[in-house]
Amino acid sequence: MVAIDPVYQDFQLEVNCRAELVALVPALRAFARSFYRRPDDADDLVQETLKRALGSLHQFTPGTSMKSWLFTIMRNTFNTAIKHRLREVTGGEKDIAENGPSRPASQEWTIRGHELEIALHQLDPDFRQAIMLVCVMGASYDEAAEICDCPVGTIKSRINRAKTHLLEMLGEKSREEILEAPQHSGWHHASRHRH
16-30, 49-63, 128-142, 150-164: which has the minimum mean pLDDT?
128-142
Q: Could you report the per-residue pLDDT of 69-127, keeping only the tens digit for each?
A: 999 999 888 878 776 765 664 344 444 444 444 444 444 345 556 677 788 888 898 99
Q: Give the model's pLDDT for residue 172.
A: 66
CA separation, residue 87 to residues 78, 79, 102 (Å): 14, 13, 21
DSSP string computed for 55-111: HTGGG--TTS-HHHHHHHHHHHHHHHHHHHHHHH-TTTHHHHHHHS---PPPTTS-H
Helices 66-88, 141-148: inter-axial angle, 10-degree rounding: 40
- 105-195: which CATH number, 3.40.50.150, 3.40.50.720, 1.10.10.10, 3.40.50.12160? 1.10.10.10
Name the pLDDT band for 177 (thresholds 50, 70, 90): low
CA distance 122 to 110: 19
State the amino acid at position 59 in one-letter form.
Answer: Q
Q: Give the model's pLDDT for residue 151.
A: 95
Q: Give the model's pLDDT for residue 99.
A: 44
Q: Could you report the per-residue pLDDT of 42-55, keeping only the tens digit for each?
A: 899 999 999 999 89
Provide the CATH number for the domain formed by 1-104 in this structure.
Answer: 1.10.1740.10
User: Where are the chain's structural domains?
Assistant: 1-104, 105-195
Single pTM value for the model:
0.53
Q: 73-77: long-range contacts (C-beta < 8 A, 24 or more apart)?
A: 73/49, 74/28, 74/31, 74/32, 74/35, 74/45, 74/46, 74/49, 75/129, 75/147, 75/148, 77/45, 77/48, 77/49, 77/52
Q: Give the model's pLDDT for residue 147.
A: 84
